[in-house]
Amino acid sequence: MIEPLEPGLYRDVVRRALAEDLGWGDTTTQAMITPDRRAAGVLLARADVVLAGLEVALEVFRQLDPALTVEYCHRDGAACLTGEPIVRIAGLASALLTAERTALNFLRHLSGIASVTRWLVEAGGGRVRIGDTRKTLPTLRALQKYAVRVGGGVNGRMALDEGLIIKANHVRLAGGVRTAVQLARAAHPDTPVEAEVGSLAEADDALLAGASTVLFTGASLDELEQVVRRCAGRARVQVSGAIHVDRLAALVSAGVELALIGAITESAPAADIILELQPL
């Protein structure tokens, strides 16, 4: 069961998105559509898609027409096949036309994230968890991470105040992995420390300093397998970086628990969803 998004997380985002698109007004729609004219519409999947962000998209229409009527064919998390209707709506024609692009932008983007996540989760066969990172669009993090959950993935930290995660630049500025981990543990002795490492030597330094999780970013499968063996019983192992679907089997065989894939939120292709309108 997918916990729905709290509306407070997207209402203001939707309001600002509409303001961005409207400018001084929808001049084309105002030129030909009378204020009282009504229309019906259907959101259609033009390719197989895992649906996410439907309520965000509907909020766009509702902010322009609070009396919008909705007939659900699918909900978030559903795998919609090509040609299937997602939802049927009816309301003021001008509102439907004006809200169309903004609503589709949200729905296509979030459904694209959910679709890629589901694909990777299934490719991993349930033996390695698929997670996201902080590589999200500014102000849209809560929505993008929700889409990852809809697709069956898990969320990495939401903000910098969630845990101690030492990245490569921390290491450079601190003077090495071991020093960075030691400084983090000294400042927060009761908080687990996660250290990003790019080599077996850095993994050894992180373990010696007491890191609870080693996040391996290197490309060598051989080194990864050695890292997993050395961390056994001492620290958890996660993997981050450019992880393609054909590498998931190798991660599973190496014993990796979690693959953090920034590309899920950073570059997932938009889902092919359209809105078709008819007069009432």
- Domain total of the chain: 2
Q: What domain range is 110 assigned to?
A: 7-121+268-279
Say if residue 203's pLDDT is above 90. Answer: yes
Instruction: Based on the fold, state whether residues 185 and 263 are members of the same structural domain.
Output: yes
Least confident stretch, 107-121, 141-155, 236-250: 236-250
Instruction: Based on the fold, state whether residues 67 and 192 are members of the same structural domain.
Output: no
Instruction: Based on the fold, state whether residues 172 and 75 are members of the same structural domain.
Output: no
Instruction: Based on the fold, state whether residues 19 and 148 are members of the same structural domain.
Output: no
pLDDT for 8 equals: 95
Instruction: Based on the fold, state whether residues 25 and 139 are members of the same structural domain.
Output: no
Instruction: Based on the fold, state whether residues 162 and 172 are members of the same structural domain.
Output: yes
pLDDT for 93 equals: 98
Instruction: Based on the fold, state whether residues 34 and 113 are members of the same structural domain.
Output: yes
Cβ-based neighbours of 98, under 8 Å, separated by 6 or more: 22, 26, 29, 64
- For 47-63, the pLDDT digits (tens) are 999 999 999 999 999 99
Q: Residue 263 belongs to a domain with what CATH number?
A: 3.20.20.70
Instruction: Based on the fold, state whether residues 229 and 275 are members of the same structural domain.
Output: no
Say if residue 1's pLDDT is above 80. Answer: no
Burial class (CB in 10 A: 0-12, 13-18, 19+), 18: middle
Q: What pTM, to 2 d.p., does this model score?
A: 0.94
Instruction: Based on the fold, state whether residues 140 and 98 are members of the same structural domain.
Output: no
